[in-house]
């Protein structure tokens, strides 16, 4: 069996291996494949019966040109890079990797919040540049510092990552409120479900944990920002398209939003003209919340397990179960 990995570098930049897949057939690994050159994608898939993709798009046109393809494994949780309907029509199962990075992403969400609250990077840079050595005082600060105790964090979405984030927030003695598009009762008595309007009005920190859909795209926009507390902190480790980035940048520059911490943007790699690049008090990281070695090891294990289950006729983590 021929197996092609279209963009393996993101998952495995050299600290993992592909042996799990090599046990099933001939594996060809491309570190990167053009997201826009469909002919390159088609040529690289070629005669393959199975492919793995992280962000390389697979659409109707591509599927119509690769007749031998029988399996698509998305090595990520989000699978919007694949035209699932087109795959369904051809009876091609599409699998994804749910729940592999719950703790890592929750941890990173708080890393962003703690950087905003304590500005460790700014103060370390100050010391490294000699300011403390030149100071006449034993202590000084470059920015306002913040204690999280008693602050209200509002979680938009209450899936596994949001719940893990809530647990961390509770450990910091924060108040936890959340909104979910389908009512979901929290198991913990310290997490309170509220309406989206109540969340906007009450939260000192808003953290996004929903998928990007037609309903959630640009849900943080000029109108919704106007309903938030002045000086709110905004965190996004979910999907970049949830933000109207121009509106968020404007609110940061005006102080309506005190600070933002984002690990995702609408177009990745980030473009030079993204308005968040020049916005005040905006921390941006290059989509790394999911990237700890331990997390990627888990992702690889699940990807191999998904493929083994498919070959055994016991499909799992299939996102298009009802097929032609």
- Report strand pairing: 50-53 vs 26-29: unpaired
Domain ranges in the chain are 2-100+292-312, 102-284
- Report strand pairing: 71-74 vs 50-53: parallel
Model confidence at 151, pLDDT cuts 50, 70, 90, reads very high
Helices (H), 188-244: 196-202, 222-226
Q: Each residue of 278-315: pLDDT tens digit?
A: 999 999 999 999 999 999 999 999 999 999 999 999 99
Q: Is pLDDT at 161 greater than 80 in this prediction?
A: yes
- Report strand pairing: 2-5 vs 26-29: parallel
Model confidence at 322, pLDDT cuts 50, 70, 90, reads confident
Instruction: For the chain, give the percent of residues with pLDDT over 70.
Output: 100
The residues annotated with a catalytic role in the active site are 239, 268, 287
Supply the pLDDT for residue 318: 98
Three-state secondary structure call for residue 307: helix
* Of 120, 53, 39, the residue nearest 283 (C-alpha): 120
154 phi, psi to nearest 5 deg: -110, 120
Q: Is pLDDT at 317 greater than 90 in this prediction?
A: yes
Mean pLDDT over residues 11-31, rounded? 98
Burial label, 198 (beta-carbon count in 10 A; 0-12, 13-18, 19+): middle
Answer whether CATH 3.40.50.720 is correct for domain 102-284: yes
Mean pLDDT over residues 165-180, rounded? 99
Supply the pLDDT for residue 168: 99
- Cis bond before residue 242 (omega within 30° of 0): no
Model confidence at 232, pLDDT cuts 50, 70, 90, reads very high
Q: Each residue of 32-51: pLDDT tens digit?
A: 999 999 999 999 999 999 99
- 2-100+292-312 and 102-284: identical CATH topology: yes
Burial label, 91 (beta-carbon count in 10 A; 0-12, 13-18, 19+): exposed
Distance between CA 274 and CA 285 in Å, rounded? 14
What's the mean per-residue pLDDT of the chain?
98
Q: Each residue of 259-274: pLDDT tens digit?
A: 999 999 999 999 999 9
Distances (CA, A) of 265 to 121, 289, 306: 22, 13, 29
Distance between CA 258 and CA 189 in Å, rounded? 29
Supply the pLDDT for residue 321: 86
Neighbours of 117 (CB within 10 A): 19
Tokens of 228: 């938030």
Answer whether CATH 3.40.50.720 is correct for domain 2-100+292-312: yes
Three-state secondary structure call for residue 291: coil
Model confidence at 97, pLDDT cuts 50, 70, 90, reads very high
Q: Which long-range contacts (CB under 8 A, 24 or more apart) does 288-292 make?
A: 288/108, 288/263, 289/101, 289/104, 289/105, 289/108, 289/109, 289/237, 289/263, 290/76, 290/100, 290/101, 290/104, 290/105, 291/104, 292/104
Supply the pLDDT for residue 87: 98
307 phi, psi to nearest 5 deg: -70, -40
Output the pTM of the full model: 0.94
Distance between CA 218 and CA 247 in Å, rounded? 9
Supply the pLDDT for residue 324: 58
Supply the pLDDT for residue 315: 96
Q: Is pLDDT at 11 greater than 90 in this prediction?
A: yes
Q: Is pLDDT at 276 greater than 80 in this prediction?
A: yes
Instruction: For the chain, give the percent of residues with pLDDT over 90.
Output: 97
Instruction: Give, to the nearest 10 degrees, the angle between helix 160-171 and helix 102-118.
Output: 40
* Of 105, 80, 88, the residue nearest 157 (C-alpha): 105
Distances (CA, A) of 108 to 130, 132, 273, 278: 29, 29, 25, 23
| 181, HSE (Cβ side, Cα atoms, 13 Å) | 10
Q: Each residue of 67-77: pLDDT tens digit?
A: 999 999 999 99
Q: Each residue of 188-211: pLDDT tens digit?
A: 999 999 999 999 999 999 999 999
Tokens of 47: 């005669």
H or E segment and range at residue 259: strand 257-262
């Amino acid at each position: 069996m021929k197996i092609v990995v279209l963009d393996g570098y993101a998952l495995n930049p050299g600290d993992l291996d592909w042996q799990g897949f090599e046990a099933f057939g001939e594996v060809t690994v491309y570190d990167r494949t053009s997201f826009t050159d469909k002919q390159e994608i088609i040529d690289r898939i070629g005669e393959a019966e199975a492919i793995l993709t992280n962000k390389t798009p697979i659409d109707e046109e591509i599927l119509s040109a690769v007749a031998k393809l029988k399996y698509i494994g998305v090595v990520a949780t989000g699978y919007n890079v694949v035209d699932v309907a087109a795959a369904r029509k051809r009876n091609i199962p599409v699998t994804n990797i749910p729940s592999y990075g719950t703790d890592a992403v929750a941890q990173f969400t708080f890393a962003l919040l703690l950087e905003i609250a304590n500005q460790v990077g700014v103060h370390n840079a100050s010391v490294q540049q000699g300011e403390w050595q030149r100071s006449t005082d034993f202590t000084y600060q470059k920015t306002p510092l913040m204690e999280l105790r008693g602050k209200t964090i509002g979680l938009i979405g209450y899936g596994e990552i949001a719940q893990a984030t809530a647990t961390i927030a509770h450990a910091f003695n924060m108040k936890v409120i959340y909104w979910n598009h389908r009512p979901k009762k929290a198991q913990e008595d310290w997490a309170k479900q509220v309406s989206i309007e109540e969340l906007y009005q009450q939260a000192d920190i808003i953290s996004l944990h929903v998928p990007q859909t037609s309903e959630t795209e640009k849900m943080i926009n000029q109108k919704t920002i106007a309903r938030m507390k002045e000086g709110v902190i905004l965190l996004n480790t979910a999907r970049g398209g949830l933000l109207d980035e121009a509106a968020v940048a404007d609110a940061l520059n005006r102080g309506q939003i005190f600070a933002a911490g984002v690990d995702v943007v609408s177009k990745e790699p980030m473009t030079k003209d993204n308005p968040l690049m020049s916005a005040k008090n905006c921390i941006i990281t290059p989509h790394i919340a999911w990237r700890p070695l331990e997390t990627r090891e888990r992702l690889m294990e699940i990807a191999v397990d998904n493929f083994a289950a498919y070959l055994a006729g016991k499909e799992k983590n299939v996102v298009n179960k009802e097929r032609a």
